[in-house]
Amino acid sequence: MSSHFVKQTSFAVDYSPAHVTKWRSSRTGLQLTYVNQPSPIVSGYFAVATEIADDSGCPHTLEHLIFMGSKTFPYKGLLDNLGNRMFSSTNAWTGVDQTVYTLTTAGWEGFRILLPIYLEHLLYPTLTEEACLTEVYHIDGKGHEKGVVFSEIQGIENESWFKAYAELQKTLYAPESGYSSETGGMLVNLRNLTNDQIRHFHKVMYRPDNLCVIITGSIDEEELLQVMSDFDKTLDLLPETSRAKRPFVDSPLDEPLKETIVKSITFPDTDESIAEFYIAWIGPDSKDVLMNTAVDSIGSYFTDSPISLFNKALVEIENPLATEIDYSTDDYMRTALNFSVSGVPTEKLEFVDQKLKELIKSQIDPKNFDLKYMAQVLKQQKLKFVSQTEKSPQTFSNIAISEFIYGNTDGSDLAKWSKDLNEYDKLASWTAEQWSQVIKEQFVDNHSATILARPSASLEEEMRRQHKHLMKETKKKYGKEGLAKLGEKLRLAQEKNDKPIPDSVITNFGKPDPSKIAFIDTKSYKAGLNTIETTYVEDDALSKLIKKDTPENFPLFFHFEEYRSEFISINVVTSSTGVEPQLLKYLSIMEEIFSLSIRLPDGQFIPYEEVVFQINDDLIEFQVENGFESQFLELLNIRIKLSCVNYQKGIKWLLNVLKYSVFEQSRIKVIIEKIINSTPEKKRSGELMMYSAEGRTLFNDGSIRKAQDFINTDTFYKDLLEKIEQGNYSDVEADLNKLRDQLFNLDNLKLFIVGGITNIKNPVSSWVPFYNALKGCDAAIKAQSIDELPHSHMFLSEVGKKCSKDASLIVIPGTESTHFVTSVRIPTDYLHEDMFKISLANAILTAVEGPFWRGIRGTGLAYGALIRRNVDTGFLSFIIYRGSAPEQAINVAKQIIDEHIDGKAEISPMIIENAIASLVNEMANGESNSYEAATSKISDNIFRKRGPHYVKTFLQRMNQLTADDVRYALKKYFAPMFSAETSVIFCSLPLETADEFKSFLHTQGYDVHLEHVNAAIDSGSEEEEDSMKLDDEFSTLEEETSSGEEEQQEEVVEEEDDDDDE
């Protein structure tokens, strides 16, 4: 095969099952990197190095417009519609120095077809005026500002982290530096951004020689080169004389600051008690791998555990000065070194900034540097990195993106940055003097920038005034006639954008065969009380070892999932149904059980600092979490990950923390104070507040999700703190001991162990000491049956069971976006025949470039609209994410569903085929590596009770469904989400729109309950006279912080699990 792609490097990775190869086209300069690592998923990352020195938002808006059509395929959504059919999904993100487009496909067959079409969209997009109008910014016929990108930025621009980070970048870097820009765009700039500016940016940046195609997975390398060579031949030749400027690499280098800078900013919030700050340095050259590994290790040394320097001095103390300190880097030409400090008492901001700097300075004296702890940090960092790369090739794709942007053009840096981990070995031999010298150079002599972010009630008030003024001025400027013209202009643009894609364009490419998708198959084994009769392996060497190693009548439940790995994950799953409901609110303290002191039976006392140190030495990950893999949230999971060689040590640690941990007053007081101080920050997120209200209202006091809710426990923890300060800690200690005894007993524990089981000598008998210690004097074990494990729908409150007429609105200070959810009841049997119909209807409505996408997101009514189907809770929900016009979005969603029910909207065989294909892709993505395949198998087999080979069942049932089945589901379950008689609503929104939206819901028949975040408790809440009282716990509502990546398809962050099987 003749090809212009010249191989630059090819090597096997020493520490991971991956092989990396890179080519560069001698004809166009187009780069190609392939990471060969086994997976049913083929992932593409199409990276463009992008640089701009302003806040116009050109990089981000262009990212959105790329998906609006190409020269050969001038159809909005062609990529996504075709992608749905090809078991694929697309996405994108815009960073400060990069715009990366992703293609994720179940199998190589569909990926191969989409690859050249996607690349054409990048290099030859249509970039029409109409697309710019709807996707970026417009004013509608009522004078409201909208646009997909505008809605996205509107939802985050006034959040504390966004404002602080933007100011930090502008402080660290010169105004003419691309690193100082907000590439997502600021609202004031988006209002004036033109399509010509975006087109010019595309012309300068989107060139073949400034594009790298990175692919991970298992594919045919020869076919890949053929597809890429054929595409490469369609591109213009690389000019022989003038070499185009490489973004950032050919720009003036940003040097470290000449002086230390401290600035203050404000963000809108009515609760001014808790603040945050960010501190950063321009650090070492990004190509210096050893130095970058060193500063990363120093960042971990400062922040990674309760006993690291910053946490020990600022967080894990009485009257904490912060609730959390995180370290991160920005991997630019010179690496930026960042610490974010949250949960800081506002009056202590300057003091904590100064204290943190003093702590750093103390480490330039080698006598103060803890070399033993740093040795542990290095060991942990290396193990985590190896574990991460074994699990997923995404780490290598990130390295490949950085290498493309900043590496040598000959590809030589790729191996230097990823082939081995020799840097850790070199650093392991460093002396305290060497570490102290690096700290001095990078963090002390090197000047920092600090941004102190303070909450401001007056700014919140000012924002509301500005919003009203802007709306008034807009209507005055355009008048009734002008607004009508704007509305018509928008209608025509939407009409042109939504030009139908001819079916032939989609079907001409054929359809991949789902049977060719190589799903990962892990092996299941059982022991002890596990009597489940499904496809457990019974006759191979490992099953014989497990049987031989199992003591007679051993009363513990074991489920093993085996795959090739050097690591093991142990999940100790327990139920709360045997716990007294009044004790459940203590669970947030129990989550800290790995950082408590231990007293062993022989009387030996191990202080918590030593416990944390030893645990970090033996385990890679350890945590107490709700649910199993973020699902089935009425379960509690004590999960640890470790090297196979440390299996018995891991079991010993589980015993020590679950049985012998000590609830010392001083330690518990610190934990409670951290919980209390973290609440104001959480209250700043409208999204979290909405889900908080939902969880506390729909579930009863026996529910873990309600018991752990931060609003539900706010008063509880303040009362506990007061009780301790009044000398009544013994009551608290007694409750905690009682909770532990009721939660961690042998009746209640199930063991799920996944990973390299074949590497363990005694997989079952190693648990004998654990069993004997927990058994104590009571030899009679009455283990809870696996069928008795609780599900969320068992804990519904009266409001949740009734699911009718209730609407709870929460007014959030400082926000400009609305978050909304309406829910109806659905069956709670995963194999109920209606569940397959609901899944298909959901996939049709919420497909990228499907009805909701075009009708709601595409018209700027909200950044996202989706359906959440949660069988564990028994609710189907319609969700608006970052809405700018929620009333319109709700009406549009209702209209779309009604039109599909009555036949006005077609449900063709091709639409059904594409929807099923998109579900197959989502299922494959959920099992993209061995760990996910193993845990997914456990979820299906044990918790959902739908068998270990559900994918086959799912496809068989799906292929039998028709348009009538979809209409049946829409009529029975989806339409009722918009009827007051059959649904409940929760919504967080700005004050300016609260009264209008409340009136709208009232006219729809809902009893509306309106809450103001941070309003004084004794002032009560505004409530309709005919409103039904919600749960007592709903009487004092508040708010919190949301995150958002600048992506084409943003995932919604929920405090709620979503156990959709898609």
pLDDT tens-digit profile of 313-326? 999 999 999 999 99
Dihedral, CA atoms, 313, 314, 315, 318, nearest 10 degrees? 80
Assess whether pLDDT exceeds 60 at residue 578.
yes
d(C-alpha 682, C-alpha 1062), whole Å: 30
Exposed / middle / buried, residue 815 (Cβ in 10 Å: 0-12, 13-18, 19+)? buried
* Rounded-to-integer distance, Cα 848 and Cα 86, Å: 13
Percent of the chain with pLDDT over 90: 84
Write 382-385 long-range contacts (CB < 8 A, 24+): 382/421, 382/424, 383/620, 383/643, 384/620, 384/621, 385/15, 385/421
pLDDT tier for residue 609 given thresholds of 50, 70 and 90: very high
Structure tokens that stand for 242 in this block? 């003038």
pLDDT score at 1016: 36
* Angle, vertex CA 951, rays to CA 946 and CA 952, nearest 5: 95
What are the distances in angstroms from CA 350 to CA 7, 273, 281? 54, 14, 18
pLDDT tens track for 214-260: 999 999 999 999 999 999 999 988 876 567 899 999 999 999 999 99
Is pLDDT above 50 for 1006? yes
In a domain, 290, yes or no: yes
Give the pair of three-digit tokens for residue 351: 């003091």
Is 804 part of a structural domain of the chain? no
Are 644 and 566 a contacting pair, CB within 8 Å?
A: yes
Q: Which amino acid is at 415?
A: A
Q: Does the pLDDT of residue 759 top 50, yes or no? A: yes
Query: How far, in Å, CA of 1031 to CA of 143, rounded?
Result: 39
Q: How far apart are CA 548 and CA 531, in angstroms?
A: 17
DSSP single-letter state for residue 125:
B
User: In whole angstroms, what is the distance from residue 202 CA to residue 477 CA?
Assistant: 33
pLDDT band for 816, please (50, 70, 90 cuts).
Answer: confident
Q: Considering the domain boundaries, does residue 158 fall inside one?
A: no
Geometric angle at alpha carbon 963, from 961 and 967, rounded to 5°: 110
Q: Where are the beta strands (DSSP E) in 378-475?
A: 449-456
Phi then psi for residue 93, to 5 deg, are -140, 155
Residue 291, domain member (yes or no): yes
Rounded average pLDDT over 494-517: 89
- Give residue 1057's pLDDT band: very low, low, confident or very high (50, 70, 90): very low
Residue in the structure block whose two tokens are 């004031």: 188
Q: CA-CA distance, 582 to 143, in Å (whole number)? A: 51
Q: Is residue 74 part of a domain?
A: no
Identify whether 279 is part of a domain. yes
Residue 1040 binned pLDDT confidence (cut-offs 50, 70, 90): very low
CA atoms of 276 and 261, how far apart (whole Å) = 16
Q: What is the pLDDT of residues 942-970, one digit of tens each?
A: 999 998 788 888 989 999 999 999 999 99
Q: pLDDT (tens digit, 9 = 90+) per residue, 262-311?
A: 999 999 998 999 999 999 999 999 999 999 999 999 999 999 999 999 99
**Residue located via tokens 């990823």:** 418
Q: Edge-to-edge strand order for the sheet containing 211-217? A: 5-12, 19-25, 31-36, 211-217, 41-49, 98-106, 88-94
- 773-787 average pLDDT score: 70
Cβ burial of 567 (10 Å; 0-12, 13-18, 19+) is buried
Kindly report the backbone phi and psi dihedral angles of residue 1057, in degrees, each rounded to the nearest multiple of 5, phi listed first: -80, 155
Q: What strands lie across the sheet with 523-528, from one edge to the other?
A: 523-528, 557-562, 749-755, 567-575, 631-643, 621-628
Question: What average pLDDT does the structure give for the chain?
Answer: 92
Least confident interval from 14-23, 67-76, 240-249, 986-995: 240-249
State yes or no: pLDDT of 890 exceeds 90: yes
**d(Cα 528, Cα 749) in Å, to the nearest integer?**
12
Structure tokens at 631: 């699902």
Query: Is it the case that residue 1017 has pLDDT exceeding 60?
Result: no
Q: List helix spans (H) across 268-333.
A: 289-303, 309-310
Q: Which of 140-154, 324-338, 513-527 has the highest mean pLDDT?
A: 324-338
CA atoms within a 13 Å half-sphere pointing along the CA-CB vector of 643: 13
Confidence check: pLDDT of 334 > 50: yes
> Which residues, in sequence order, are CB contacts of 143 under 8 Å at separation 6+?
471, 474, 475, 478, 483
Write the DSSP string, 633-680. EEEEEEEEEEEGGGHHHHHHHHHHHHHSEE--HHHHHHHHHHHHHHHH
In the numeric block, which tokens belong to residue 53?
Answer: 């020195």
Which residues are within 8 A (CB) of 155 and not within 5 positions of it... i.e. 6 or more apart?
A: 815, 816, 817, 863, 882, 1042, 1044
The dihedrals phi and psi of 819, each to the nearest 5 degrees, come to: -115, 135
Q: What is the pLDDT of residue 780?
A: 54
Q: Do residues 260 and 446 make contact, with C-beta atoms less than 8 angstroms apart?
A: no
- The number of residues making up the chain comes to 1062
Residues 592, 597: Cα–Cα separation, whole Å: 11
The Cα 648–Cα 845 span in angstroms is 50
Residue matched to tokens 């440390």: 646
Mean pLDDT of 893-901: 98
Q: What value, to the nearest 5°, has the Cα angle with vertex 719 and ends 809 and 677? A: 65
Q: Residue 71, Cβ neighbours under 10 Å: how many? A: 11
Question: Given its phi and psi angles, is residue 217 left (phi above 0), alpha (psi -120 to 50 degrees) or beta?
Answer: left
pLDDT at position 260 is 98
Measured N-to-C along each axis, helices 394-406 and 371-391 cross at an angle, to the nearest 10 degrees, of 100
Q: 30: Cβ–Cβ under 8 A, 6 or more apart, which residues?
A: 24, 208, 209, 211, 212, 213, 228, 232, 235
- Percent above pLDDT 70 for the chain: 94
Within-domain flag for 894? no
Q: In what order do the strands lie in the sheet with 605-606?
A: 605-606, 597-599, 661-662
State phi, psi for 712 to the nearest 5 degrees.
-60, -30
Please calculate the CA angle 708-711-713 and round it to the nearest 5 degrees: 50
User: Is 382 a member of any domain?
Assistant: yes
Residue 52: exposure state from Cβ atoms within 10 A (0-12, 13-18, ≥19): buried
pLDDT higher than 70, residue 777:
no
**Residue 878, token pair as written in the block:** 């319609």
Domains contained in the chain, number: 1
Lowest mean pLDDT of 113-117, 378-382, 726-730, 771-775, name the range.
Answer: 771-775
Instruction: Say how many C-beta atoms besides its own lie within 10 A of residue 951's C-beta.
Output: 19
Tokens of residue 70, six digits: 């190409």
Q: What is the CATH number of the domain that holds 358?
A: 3.30.830.10
| Other residues' Cβ atoms within 10 Å of the Cβ of residue 762 | 15
pLDDT at site 1027: 28
- Cα–Cα distance, 569 to 565 (Å, whole number): 11
Residues 6 or more apart whose Cβ sits within 8 Å of residue 436: 363, 364, 365, 366, 369
pLDDT for residue 1018 is more than 60: no
| Burial per residue of 452-478, b for 16 or more beta-carbon CB atoms within 10 angstroms, e otherwise | bbbbbbebbeebbeebeeeeeebbeeb
When pLDDT is averaged across residues 687-708 and rounded to a whole number, the result is 95
Helical spans, DSSP H, in 207-269: 221-232
Task: Give the number of other Cβ atoms within 10 Å of residue 649's Cβ.
Answer: 18
pLDDT of residue 463: 87
Helices (DSSP H) in 289-393: which residue ranges?
Answer: 289-303, 309-310, 349-362, 371-391
Distance CA 853, CA 81 (A): 12
Q: Which domain holds residue 278?
A: 261-447
Give the pLDDT of residue 116: 98
pLDDT of residue 1031: 29
Quick check: 198 and 61 in contact, CB under 8 A? Answer: yes
pLDDT at res. 778: 52
